[in-house]
């Protein structure tokens, strides 16, 4: 599970229009789309936004 997010804050996934609350990320995670194959990796960067 993801950790260290502020449950009350909103976070944007860099490079997309997707936004999540910190609580949702820590309790549910997020859907990883189009990512299949052996030995693959990807870095996801969430930025706290002011809403």
pLDDT of amino acid 33: 82
pLDDT of amino acid 12: 98
pLDDT of amino acid 40: 84
Question: Domain-by-domain residue ranges, the chain?
Answer: 10-49
DSSP symbol at 9: S
pTM flag (> 0.85): no
DSSP for 22-47 reads HHHHHHT--PPPS--STT------EE
pLDDT digits (tens, 9 = 90+) for 5-47: 999 999 999 999 999 999 999 999 988 887 788 888 889 999 9
Is residue 30 within 8 Å of 11, Cβ to Cβ?
A: no
pLDDT of amino acid 23: 97
């Amino acid at each position: 599970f993801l950790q260290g997010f502020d449950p009350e804050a909103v976070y944007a996934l860099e490079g997309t229009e997707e936004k999540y609350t910190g609580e949702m990320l820590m309790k549910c995670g997020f859907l990883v789309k189009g990512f299949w194959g052996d030995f693959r990796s990807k870095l996801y960067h969430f930025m706290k936004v002011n809403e």
